[in-house]
Amino acid sequence: MEDNFEPTILTFCCNWCSYAAADSAGTARMQYPPNIHIIRCMCSGMVHPNFVMNALTQGRTDGVLICGCHIGDCHYQDGNKRAEKRAEAITLMLEDFGLEEERFRLEWISASEGPKFVEAAKEMTKTLKELGPNPYKS
Protein backbone atom coordinates (compact mmCIF):
# COMPACT_ATOMS: atom_id res chain seq x y z
CA MET A 1 0.00 0.00 0.00
CA GLU A 2 1.22 3.49 -0.83
CA ASP A 3 2.22 5.50 2.25
CA ASN A 4 0.67 8.65 0.86
CA PHE A 5 -2.62 7.04 -0.18
CA GLU A 6 -5.51 9.44 0.33
CA PRO A 7 -8.89 7.70 0.03
CA THR A 8 -11.89 9.28 -1.61
CA ILE A 9 -15.04 8.94 0.45
CA LEU A 10 -18.36 9.61 -1.25
CA THR A 11 -20.63 10.92 1.51
CA PHE A 12 -24.39 11.21 1.23
CA CYS A 13 -25.84 13.56 3.84
CA CYS A 14 -29.54 14.06 4.34
CA ASN A 15 -30.61 17.67 4.02
CA TRP A 16 -32.32 18.02 7.38
CA CYS A 17 -29.89 16.64 9.93
CA SER A 18 -26.51 15.35 8.81
CA TYR A 19 -25.87 17.99 6.16
CA ALA A 20 -26.62 20.59 8.82
CA ALA A 21 -24.18 18.78 11.13
CA ALA A 22 -21.43 18.92 8.49
CA ASP A 23 -22.26 22.56 7.91
CA SER A 24 -22.15 23.38 11.63
CA ALA A 25 -18.81 21.58 11.93
CA GLY A 26 -17.46 23.80 9.16
CA THR A 27 -18.96 26.94 10.68
CA ALA A 28 -17.38 26.06 14.04
CA ARG A 29 -14.06 25.60 12.19
CA MET A 30 -13.77 21.97 13.22
CA GLN A 31 -11.30 20.23 10.99
CA TYR A 32 -12.23 17.05 9.17
CA PRO A 33 -10.31 15.24 6.44
CA PRO A 34 -10.66 16.60 2.89
CA ASN A 35 -11.21 13.01 1.75
CA ILE A 36 -14.93 13.46 2.42
CA HIS A 37 -16.90 14.49 -0.68
CA ILE A 38 -20.45 15.39 0.31
CA ILE A 39 -23.55 14.91 -1.80
CA ARG A 40 -26.58 16.54 -0.21
CA CYS A 41 -29.74 14.47 -0.60
CA MET A 42 -33.17 15.02 0.88
CA CYS A 43 -33.21 11.81 2.94
CA SER A 44 -30.87 8.88 3.63
CA GLY A 45 -33.73 6.62 2.45
CA MET A 46 -33.35 8.06 -1.06
CA VAL A 47 -29.87 6.62 -1.53
CA HIS A 48 -30.47 3.50 -3.59
CA PRO A 49 -27.97 0.66 -3.09
CA ASN A 50 -27.16 0.88 -6.81
CA PHE A 51 -25.65 4.34 -6.23
CA VAL A 52 -23.33 2.87 -3.62
CA MET A 53 -22.42 -0.28 -5.52
CA ASN A 54 -21.92 1.53 -8.82
CA ALA A 55 -19.61 4.06 -7.19
CA LEU A 56 -17.55 1.28 -5.62
CA THR A 57 -17.49 -1.26 -8.44
CA GLN A 58 -16.79 1.34 -11.09
CA GLY A 59 -13.82 2.46 -9.04
CA ARG A 60 -15.08 5.99 -8.50
CA THR A 61 -14.49 6.01 -4.76
CA ASP A 62 -12.69 4.07 -2.02
CA GLY A 63 -15.60 4.16 0.39
CA VAL A 64 -19.16 5.36 0.83
CA LEU A 65 -20.61 6.99 3.92
CA ILE A 66 -24.34 7.62 4.30
CA CYS A 67 -25.44 9.96 7.08
CA GLY A 68 -29.04 10.53 8.11
CA CYS A 69 -31.26 11.63 10.97
CA HIS A 70 -31.54 9.46 14.07
CA ILE A 71 -34.25 6.81 14.02
CA GLY A 72 -37.53 8.54 14.87
CA ASP A 73 -36.30 11.92 13.59
CA CYS A 74 -36.48 11.37 9.81
CA HIS A 75 -38.33 14.23 8.15
CA TYR A 76 -40.00 11.73 5.84
CA GLN A 77 -41.16 9.50 8.73
CA ASP A 78 -39.28 6.30 8.04
CA GLY A 79 -36.71 7.06 5.33
CA ASN A 80 -33.85 6.22 7.65
CA LYS A 81 -35.42 2.86 8.48
CA ARG A 82 -35.41 2.19 4.74
CA ALA A 83 -31.75 3.26 4.65
CA GLU A 84 -31.03 0.80 7.44
CA LYS A 85 -32.58 -2.07 5.47
CA ARG A 86 -30.73 -1.02 2.35
CA ALA A 87 -27.48 -0.94 4.33
CA GLU A 88 -27.95 -4.63 5.12
CA ALA A 89 -28.37 -5.34 1.41
CA ILE A 90 -25.29 -3.26 0.59
CA THR A 91 -23.21 -5.19 3.11
CA LEU A 92 -24.19 -8.47 1.43
CA MET A 93 -23.41 -7.10 -2.02
CA LEU A 94 -19.99 -5.88 -0.88
CA GLU A 95 -19.17 -9.45 0.07
CA ASP A 96 -20.40 -10.70 -3.32
CA PHE A 97 -18.11 -8.23 -5.06
CA GLY A 98 -15.14 -9.12 -2.86
CA LEU A 99 -15.04 -5.75 -1.14
CA GLU A 100 -14.44 -5.19 2.56
CA GLU A 101 -17.58 -4.20 4.50
CA GLU A 102 -15.61 -1.33 6.07
CA ARG A 103 -15.80 0.44 2.72
CA PHE A 104 -19.39 1.30 3.57
CA ARG A 105 -20.76 2.98 6.67
CA LEU A 106 -24.14 4.27 7.81
CA GLU A 107 -24.31 6.91 10.57
CA TRP A 108 -27.13 8.75 12.31
CA ILE A 109 -26.06 12.34 12.94
CA SER A 110 -28.40 15.11 14.08
CA ALA A 111 -28.02 18.77 13.13
CA SER A 112 -26.47 19.54 16.51
CA GLU A 113 -23.86 16.79 16.25
CA GLY A 114 -21.12 18.48 14.25
CA PRO A 115 -18.42 16.77 16.36
CA LYS A 116 -19.97 13.36 15.62
CA PHE A 117 -19.79 14.08 11.88
CA VAL A 118 -16.12 15.05 12.27
CA GLU A 119 -15.42 11.86 14.22
CA ALA A 120 -17.13 9.66 11.60
CA ALA A 121 -15.15 11.39 8.83
CA LYS A 122 -11.86 10.88 10.67
CA GLU A 123 -12.58 7.26 11.56
CA MET A 124 -13.62 6.30 8.05
CA THR A 125 -10.60 8.02 6.53
CA LYS A 126 -8.29 6.18 8.92
CA THR A 127 -9.97 2.82 8.20
CA LEU A 128 -9.72 3.28 4.44
CA LYS A 129 -6.09 4.37 4.65
CA GLU A 130 -5.40 1.10 6.43
CA LEU A 131 -7.40 -0.93 3.86
CA GLY A 132 -5.75 0.72 0.88
CA PRO A 133 -7.24 1.72 -2.49
CA ASN A 134 -10.45 0.21 -3.81
CA PRO A 135 -9.30 -2.73 -5.98
CA TYR A 136 -11.87 -1.71 -8.64
CA LYS A 137 -10.01 1.57 -9.12
CA SER A 138 -7.15 0.16 -11.17
Pick from 24, 60, 75, 133: which binds ligand FES (CB under 6 A)?
A: 75
What's the chain's Rg over C-alpha atoms?
A: 14
Identify which of residues 11 and 134 has a Cβ nearer to ligand FES in the complex. 11
SS3 letters across 83-115: HHHHHHHHHHHHHHCCCCHHHEEEEECCCCCHH
Q: Does 43 bind ligand FES (CB under 6 A)?
A: yes
Best CA proximity match to 62, nearest among 11, 18, 12, 96 = 11
Q: Does 120 bind ligand FES (CB under 6 A)?
A: no
* Number of amino acids touching ligand FES (CB under 6 A): 13
Please report, as ranges, the residues that interact with ligand FES according to CB under 6 A.
Answer: 14, 16-17, 43-45, 68-69, 74-76, 79-80
